[in-house]
Structure 1
Amino acid sequence: MLRYSAFSRDPAGGNPAGVVLDARGLDEREMLAVAAEVGFSETAFLVPADGGFDVRFFSPRAEVSFCGHATIASAVAHAERHGAGGLRYRTAAGDVDVVTARDEDGSWRATLTSVPPVVRDLAPQDLDALLAALRWSAQDLDPALPARTAYAGAWHPVVAVRSRQRLADLEHDVAALERLAAARGWTTVDLVWRQDATTFHARNPFPAGGVVEDPATGAAAAALGGYLRAGGHVPLPARLTVLQGEDLGRPSTLHVAVPADPAAGVAVTGAAVAMP
């Protein structure tokens, strides 16, 4: 069992993930038990297969279809032991290509390319229920970025607010949000504020995993890229920066590349570092 923090070069920042680089012999029950013992929002379990890896992701409470930060963390953990290069992850959401590289300062980073994103309208009654659980109002929302749901390996409602202060002031009803997310199949809720044309601040409550909030969410960042492309909210191709975790004391930086092709996956890049 390895412990890495993704989307940061500082172990005190980013989002911690558990990593098992060779999970052969572990069944689903044992993987869930390991993830619960580690206690991070997700743990990645890799099984070597056909020139790549079969990969499963577990929160302390359940399996999830895809996890971006555990993908980045596990790819860097692999690269530190076997060298930089390309990896193919076979996940429940589909195949995800990952490329690792080492920077001049010796730090490691990885880039994942998501499955093709899907974006859908958010039903008005679901938005009302979501705002009630967040203890926000419709007046808090950014009218230029209408709330929708987006998928790039996992489903997330994307809700944009008018101000950074509104995003910082998050005192949501955890139980109500958990019930709503479970009923709709949402993994996290992607709450964003647009600082400028290409910079977004994000927060991600994660009720499905039994975690109040994720400090960095690669799957949601990829979904956000798909949402922005589908809505025509950014010139394409786009390079975005997502800043997350500041309000939790674990600052994280996610770099997102959105190609113009509407059928193409979204690339998410971040550093990762071993935790003491």
Structure 2
Amino acid sequence: MTDNVEILRYTAFTHDPEGGNPAGIVLDAGTLSDDEMLALAAKVGYSETAFLTARDDERRAFQVRYFAPSAEVAFCGHATIATAVALAERLGTGPLLFDTRAGEIAVETEIVDDVLRATLTSVPTRSRPAEEKALDETLAALGWSRDDLDPAFPPHVAFGGNDHLTLAAATRERLADLDYDFDRLKALMEREGWTTVNLFWRESDERFHARNPFPVGGVVEDPATGAAAAAFGGYLRTLGLGSAEFTVIQGVDMGRPSTLTVSIAAPDGRSRVSGGAVVIQDA
């Protein structure tokens, strides 16, 4: 039975309850089945809900699974940040270790300028060129053409816990005008094993704008995607582009502005993704 399960609701990569990406959090999910977790995630309706299926508070180590409304995902960045902030509020700041289906994720929580922030270190990232056929099918589903892409950033499939097709828009206007074929893109993404399509526009080497369609999770778009930001760090590192530390602005076109700070943490391409999270008071 799930009627008595306590579900926390936070929004990540913001300090404003009206911004960021909302996430559900279940801190005591050890007795829940897969079907029950999926049903709860669908009931919550956010892009992901995090479930702590095992916990060792003394070691600050936790087993975490992530469910979207229609599927489980191996890793979710914004729900990781939200969960880390919720735990730090209860256990105190310091290091946390999350055992996820993508691998172990170290998270550091700290107070910066009187604000609680969390920084996750991803699994090793990697990036490879996208296949031409899949790229053409994606552009058709988006209603884009190759002329809409920035040739300075080749299309890749980037990994930072999940695979994300990564496409650079040639203009901010192209990025803002997003109206895609949900079912067509979902079927393609399921076939290719992509979690989101990370669409971005380069404002500068230190500042990028992003949008992330997420139809495979039953969600039109993610307001902030930490896993895609981690993968994007690996993408830029592979290509030798951008800066070693940069900001991703996401959610603006949805009315939920989010700020993700990304840096390359290690020679193996692990990315560090930082942000805050706050309780959604009226949830």
* TM-score, normalised via structure 2 length: 0.94
Number of residue pairs matched by the alignment: 272
Q: Identify the match of residue 30 of structure 1 among 14, 33, 36.
A: 36
Partner of 2:224: 216
Q: State yes or no: 1:88 paired with 2:97.
A: yes
Tell me the CA shift for residue 33 of structure 1.
Answer: 1.1
**Pair 1:13-2:22 in alignment:** no
**Separation in structure 1 between the aligned mates of residue 54 and residue 266 of structure 2, nearest angstrom:** 33
1:187-226 pair list within 5 angstroms: 187-226=195-234
Residue 104 of structure 1 deviates from its aligned partner by: 2.9
Q: Pick the aligned partner of 1:2 from 5, 8, 18.
A: 8
Q: CA deviation at 1:24?
A: 1.4
Check whether the contact 1:108–1:273 (CA below 8 A) recurs between aligned residues: no
Matched, 1:269 2:269: no
Q: Is the 8 A contact 2:15 2:278 kept in 1?
A: yes
Matches for 1:5-84 after TM superposition, within 5 Å = 5-49=11-55, 51=59, 52-84=61-93
Q: Percent identity?
A: 57
The AA in structure 2 aligned to 1:139 is: D
Q: State which of 261, 265, 283 in structure 2 corresponds to 1:255.
A: 261
Who is 1:230 aligned against?
Answer: 238
In 1: Cα distance, 2:148 partner to 2:265 partner: 30
The answer for the alignment partner of 2:122 in structure 1 is 114
**SS of residue in 1 equivalent to 2:196:** coil
> Once structures 1 and 2 are overlaid, which stretch shifts more, 23-32 or 142-151?
23-32
Normalised to the residue count of structure 1, the TM-score between the two structures is: 0.96
Q: What's 1:139 paired with?
A: 147
The one-letter code of the counterpart of 1:38 is V
Query: Hey, what's the Cα distance between the residues in 2 that align with 1:197 and 1:217?
Result: 19
Q: In 2, distance between residues paired with 1:204 and 1:231?
A: 21
Give the counterpart letter for 1:257 in structure 2: S
SS in 2 for 1:188: strand
Q: Does the alignment pair 1:167 with 2:159?
A: no
The residue type equivalent to 1:224 in the other structure is F
Q: Distance in 1 between matches of 2:259 and 2:183?
A: 29
State the AA in 1 paired with 2:86: A
CA 1:213–1:255 in structure 2 vs 1: closer, same or farther (change >3 Å)? same
Partner of 1:101: 110
Distance 1:220 1:241 in 2: 13
What is residue 3 of structure 2 aligned with on the other side? Answer: none
- Whether contact under 8 Å (1:117, 1:223) holds in the other structure is yes
Which amino acid letter does the alignment assign opposite residue 44 of structure 1? A
Q: 2:97 is matched by which residue type in structure 1?
A: R
User: Which amino acid counterpart does residue 232 of structure 1 have in structure 2?
Assistant: G
**How far apart, CA to CA, are the structure 2 residues paired with 1:109 and 1:142?**
33
For residues 215 and 264 of structure 1, what CA distance do their matches in structure 2 show? 25
Per-residue deviation, residues 78-117 of structure 1 (Å, max 9, x unmatched): 1111110111101000000001112333x32100000000
Q: Residues 32-67 of structure 1: CA distance to partner in whole angstroms, max 9, x if unpaired?
A: 111111010000001334531111000011100000
Match of 2:4 in 1: none
Give distance in 2, aligned partners of 1:204 and 1:210: 13
User: Could you say what secondary structure the match of 1:73 adopts?
Assistant: helix
Aligned 8 A contact 1:133 1:176 in 2: yes
Residue range with higher mean Cα deviation, 21-30 or 111-120? 21-30
Q: Residue type of the partner of 1:27?
A: S
